[in-house]
Structure 1
Amino acid sequence: MANPLPYYRVLRDQHPVYYLPKWDTYALSRFADIWDVLAINDGTFVPSEGTLPAATVLARHHDGPVPDPPLHPMPFHANFDSPLYEDVRRCTSGQFRARTAATFADRIRRLANDRLDALLPLGSFDLTQDYGGIVAASMVCELVGLPVELAPDVLATVNAGSLAEPGSGVEVANARPGYLEYLTPIIERRRAGAGPPLAIADNLIDYRLPDGSGLTDTEAAVQMLGVFIGGTETVPKIVAHGLWELLRHPGQLAAVRADLDANVPVAREEMIRYCAPAQWFARTLRKPFTLHGTTINPGQRIITLLGSAARDDREYVNPGDFHWDRRSARILSFGRGTHFCLGVHLARLEITILVTEWLKRVPEFSVREEAASRPPSSFQWGWNTVPVDVGVAA
């Protein structure tokens, strides 16, 4: 994970279905294979062991299909197959539909400019954390019912949760108590009728499982993790890395600046393809599946290497190069199929606004590349730290 790109190329060219005997797991590395596999929704590939299983989970080998987890204590709903997964997802999805997400544009723009007002006079700051990170975390706070003043703490908590020593796996469960310290009290307050209506929390409180039971406060809070983590972590890394790529290519930066309203949405798609930090997601097989002459059996797993797919020259021309005006017919950075990213519309809106407002107000900037860092993680390859120096600000 220090630099997976050379390994991805070897996998794509020589081992498109690569077996990892220690984990009884196959890695898929080609865009077309991952695109097709993630579209299959007939129960062949299920997330019953989690979409980011820890090393302790992968160490268990199975002789056959793995059942869904028990309803109680209920894990994150992404561990379930249809229809339970979709039912719980609907409790949290209302504010993320395209039309509703668009209504947040003015708020995101104000948050972005408030951050720029505070940061630009400093001359030096962190592009990932101090700019995009605080804006994204502020939006998450508002969506889940937390005071926006907690945005820096939420951002720090989420960043810490994705760190891992090499070989240890993500171990999200270790960070979960920290997440739930924010989320469980929200459920408790709404269940007691305190505070204004809050769609996500209220829907989860009212939800009933197939056996007729409801979610406990902790179980309901766990279902909010997708919004809490995903909404905080991805956008800032894409924005910081994407602006850095434009800086590395002055001609491209000038072209985007020439018409921000028209060109930033185009550049955004290349930033998403090229800069998205998530590298892989897992599924466990419930039915046999054959790919490139290899049959994967029930109980075995696959990991879909999204980061590899984004660099597949079978799908893209010169995919290792950043081209702001690349027109990509297909992108896998937000996933595909049943587990397609819940917040994709809001994420695209945030990226567009954060990049646009930056380019409007920052005529000159530089990155202190020696101080930029990608901390260890077995799941993502993203720039957590991108220190910048800015010129005269508008």
Structure 2
Amino acid sequence: MSDFSYDPFDPAVMADPLPYYRVLRDEHPVYYLPKWDTYALSRFSDIWDALRITDGTFVASEGTLPSAAVLQRHNSGPVADPPLHPMPFHANFDSPVYESVRRCTSSPFRPRSAAGWAERIRTLANERLDELLPRGTFDLTQDYGGHVAAAMVCEFLGLPVELASEVLAAVNAGSLAQPGEGVEVANSRPGFLSYLTPIVERRRAEGADGSVPIADSLINFVLPDGSTLSDSEAATQMLGVFIGGTETVPKVTAAGLWQLAEHPDQLAAVRADLEHNVPIAREEILRYTAPAQWFARTVRRPYMIHGTTIQPGQRVITLLASAARDEREYPNPDAFIWNRPIERLLSFGHGQHFCLGVHVARLEVTILMQEWFRRVSDYRILSESASRPPSSFQWGWNSVPVDVHAEGG
């Protein structure tokens, strides 16, 4: 790396970004990418401080995960919010539209509501294990965590749980990225909306009485100009739950079980008290394995960092995965330590766009691991067959095959 350059869409970066992140943190904490007119922030504290600013300095009007096609268009000044109609995903708006629509989708994910899902998640996990364990060999990401997470998304949105496998496959296909381009969600959106728009149509016909909270809230939502959302616009606002609720938890769970299998002493310590120790280990697993690499903002007001002034219209990408390996925040960050003290975590973001489903996601990872350890006395990760496709965004293990020996069978 003597002739160092960083680009999130570079095939070499997409295949393994971690060495690049170390150079960025040590030598280029504010790194300019002239091709995209974008600055990359790589240190934990810099990202934490930037994301906590909610005064309009940073906006997501070009998307929180813009593709190369978006970034190649350079701006000459501040970028306005998009028009209300046809309404794009609400994360593209600044306050108050963003927060108002977000509240429509939040009711199942508030702390008290999230806790109420525990038994349902536990039931789904055990039903899935009942089916998988007799096989002996299966995929941790897709067959176990992926199926349970997708089933929960179906529950949240009002889809039949029987569609979980289809939902999982659709989201997996939509998160793949091509070198040089990044993830282009717009290409997958029609497929996603084919599941979501009929929900809105059905609920509108049935009266949207609140019994399907997310869809009904969006149908009844009134925008600041007095207008309401069309069926397709309301469905578009459900994409965050549909995608985010499906793709991250399975990758985190599978990678966490893999890390513990590679550290038998740590695995034994976690097994010694599942109720107490799995939630502790979960936080280190989130730090060490969370697959999201970065999110973007567009600057609306001048922002100075490390002597560099980022001008309105330019972009900032916050490298969350780099922050997770920052030795300034985490001593010996490349080591997996199940009970590492963690005071701050960026795996769910920070500030205005903090992950909507954080409480449910933590609960799902915890229960998936607890039920796994209760039912599986021994397992071996078939690492030679694991798959981690190159990606500018969700750089996670899409496939983690495992061989199991279940207790009593």
Aligning the two structures, in what range does the TM-score lie when normalised by the shorter sequence?
Answer: over 0.9
Structure 1 Cα separation of the partners of residues 172 and 344 of structure 2: 29
Who is 1:305 aligned against? 319
Q: For residues 276-302 of structure 1, what are the alpha-carbon distances to aligned partners after superposition, in whole Å with 9 as ceiling and x for unaligned?
A: 000100000000011111110000000
Gaps in structure 1 of 5+ consecutive residues: none
4+ residue runs of structure 1 moved beyond 2 angstroms?
194-197
The structural deviation recorded for 1:195 is 8.7
Who is 1:225 aligned against? 239
Structure 1 Cα separation of the partners of residues 67 and 26 of structure 2: 28
Who is 1:366 aligned against? 380
Q: Is the CA contact 2:208–2:216 (under 8 Å) kept in the aligned structure 1? A: no
Q: Is the CA contact 2:16–2:390 (under 8 Å) kept in the aligned structure 1? A: no
The structural deviation recorded for 1:56 is 1.0
Instruction: Specify which of 385, 388, 397 is matched with residue 383 of structure 1.
Output: 397
Q: Is the CA contact 1:208–1:214 (under 8 Å) kept in the aligned structure 2? A: yes
Q: Is the CA contact 2:208–2:220 (under 8 Å) kept in the aligned structure 1? A: no
Q: Is 2:181 aligned against 1:191?
A: no
Who is 1:273 aligned against? 287
Partner of 1:303, secondary structure, is strand
Matched letter for residue 346 of structure 1: V
Who is 1:234 aligned against? 248
Q: Is the CA contact 1:120–1:393 (under 8 Å) kept in the aligned structure 2? A: no
Who is 2:158 aligned against? 145
Who is 1:319 aligned against? 333
The structural deviation recorded for 1:54 is 1.4
Partner of 1:363, secondary structure, is strand
Who is 1:61 aligned against? 74
Q: How does 1:107-186 map to 2 (within 5 A)?
A: 107-186=120-199
Matched letter for residue 18 of structure 2: L
Who is 1:201 aligned against? 215
Structure 2 Cα separation of the partners of residues 380 and 200 of structure 1: 25
Partner of 1:190, secondary structure, is helix
Q: For residues 40-64 of structure 1, what are the alpha-carbon distances to aligned partners after superposition, in whole Å with 9 as ceiling and x for unaligned?
A: 0111000010000111110100110
Q: Is the CA contact 1:167–1:378 (under 8 Å) kept in the aligned structure 2? A: no
Matched letter for residue 62 of structure 2: E
Structure 1 Cα separation of the partners of residues 160 and 303 of structure 2: 47
Q: Is the CA contact 1:34–1:309 (under 8 Å) kept in the aligned structure 2? A: yes
Partner of 1:307, secondary structure, is helix
Q: Is the CA contact 2:57–2:302 (under 8 Å) kept in the aligned structure 1? A: yes
Matched letter for residue 125 of structure 1: F
Gaps in structure 2 of 5+ consecutive residues: 1-13
The structural deviation recorded for 1:377 is 2.0
Equivalent pairs, count:
394
Matched letter for residue 273 of structure 1: R
Who is 1:355 aligned against? 369
Q: Is the CA contact 2:78–2:299 (under 8 Å) kept in the aligned structure 1? A: yes
The structural deviation recorded for 1:380 is 1.5
Q: How does 1:67-86 map to 2 (within 5 A)?
A: 67-86=80-99
Q: Is 2:342 aligned against 1:328?
A: yes
Q: For residues 84-124 of structure 1, what are the alpha-carbon distances to aligned partners after superposition, in whole Å with 9 as ceiling and x for unaligned?
A: 10000000001100111000000000000001000000000
Structure 1 Cα separation of the partners of residues 270 and 392 of structure 2: 34
TM-score scaled by length of structure 2 = 0.95
CA RMSD of aligned residues (A): 0.9
Who is 2:9 aligned against? none
The structural deviation recorded for 1:367 is 0.9
The structural deviation recorded for 1:393 is 3.3
The structural deviation recorded for 1:378 is 1.6
Q: Is the CA contact 1:238–1:351 (under 8 Å) kept in the aligned structure 2? A: yes
TM-score scaled by length of structure 1 = 0.99
Structure 1 Cα separation of the partners of residues 406 and 319 of structure 2: 41
Judged with a 3 Å threshold, the aligned counterparts in structure 2 of structure 1 residues 51 and 195 are, in CA distance, closer, same or farther, namely closer
